[in-house]
Structure formats: structure tokens, C-alpha cells
Amino acid sequence: MKNLMKSVLLLTILGTAASADDMMPMMQDVTAGQLTLSDGFAHATLPNQPVAGGFITITNAGDAADTLIAVRSDIAQVMQIHEMAMQDDTMVMRELEGGVVVPAGEAVMLKPGGMHLMFMQLDGPLVEGENVSVTATFEQAGDVVLSLPIRKKMIGGHGTVQETDGDR
């Protein structure tokens, strides 16, 4: 019986350590009115790469929808909200018309391979281990300032797409 207890404990520890995400710096949750913003991060840039992706989960606990309509950052001259779309059998990214709608009582994830925030015309690199400040503007909740931890980009993972200039 004692051995069984030990095994269970060990499994619990291993199970916790197994997720690589747990080793990554996490963003503190930010609340703004009925919204909670969590799991935010940005990808570190490769040398001379003028663009990078940013990601966030938006949870709406209210009884009315809200919409992320714009994002900006001091480090990027241009910042857009992008979606992924199929074009001639190729996955491309393009600016999302109308922003990201977060329905009442629902959560929307911006994540690699899907919708994302796009830093463009960067004035400097995004360095792994540092943070980048982003102001997200919501139709209802207004401006929300986020400090996104910068993580190394996983190369070639399933569902990843080359981040180019985004003008395609």
C-alpha cells in the first residue's frame, strides 16, 4: 500500500513536469471589466526578422459580446490582428476584418497556427526572456495594457506557418 502511494505521488510529479509550457514564463492574468486576458506571449525574432507573432486568450464572463479591435506596441510601427486562411492550397495569414469577437460567456484563443497579433516593422528584436508591452483596444472594455513574455519560437511544429511580412 505504501508503494502504491509512492507511485501515485511520482506520477503526479512527472505529469506536472511533462508539459513544456509549465517551464515557460507565463503572463499574469489581466482583468478589464468582464474580460480576463491570460496565456499571453510573443515569439522571439530571428536575426533581421522584421515581424513576430503575439498570442493571448480572451475570456468574456459578461453577458454582452466584446471585440478586440486594435493592438499597438511601441516596438512595432505597425501592428495588426491576423487570421489564417487557405488560398490556393496554401495557408496564408491576413488581416482579420472587424477584429476578434469574444461572445458573452466564451473564451477565444489566439495561438500559433491560428489567429494572432502581428508585430510588423519592428524597431528592434524581440528577445527571448524579456517582455514586450502591448496595448489591446476593446470596443467595450477599452484599452488594456499587457506585458507579454517573449518565448523562443518552436520551429516546424505541427500547424506552424512561416511568419513573413504579412502583406500577401
Helix (H) or strand (E) holding 58: strand 52-60
Grid cell for residue 64: 454582452
Cβ-based nearer residue to Cu ion, 43 or 60: 43
Cβ-based nearer residue to Cu ion, 85 or 104: 85
Residues that bind Cu ion (CB under 5 A): 82, 93, 118, 166
Q: List the end-to-end C-alpha distance of the chain, in Å, as a whole number.
A: 62
Cβ-based nearer residue to Cu ion, 36 or 49: 49
According to DSSP, the residues that pair with 15 across neighbouring strands are none
- Distance, in Å, from the CA atom of 60 to the CA atom of 108, rounded to the nearest integer, reads 9
Q: CA–CA distance from 62 to each of 32, 34, 37, 105, 121 (Å)?
A: 11, 5, 13, 6, 35
Neighbours of 140 (CB within 10 A): 15
Cβ at position 53, least distance to Cu ion in Å: 6
Cβ at position 103, least distance to Cu ion in Å: 23
Our measurement of the distance from residue 146's CA atom to the centroid of its chain's CA atoms, rounded to an integer in Å, reads 11
Taking every pair of Cα atoms in the chain, the longest distance, rounded to a whole number of angstroms, is 63
Cβ at position 116, least distance to Cu ion in Å: 6
Cβ at position 9, least distance to Cu ion in Å: 44
Cβ-based nearer residue to Cu ion, 56 or 118: 118
Cβ-based nearer residue to Cu ion, 32 or 54: 54
Closest residue (Cβ) to Cu ion?
Answer: 82
Cβ at position 106, least distance to Cu ion in Å: 23
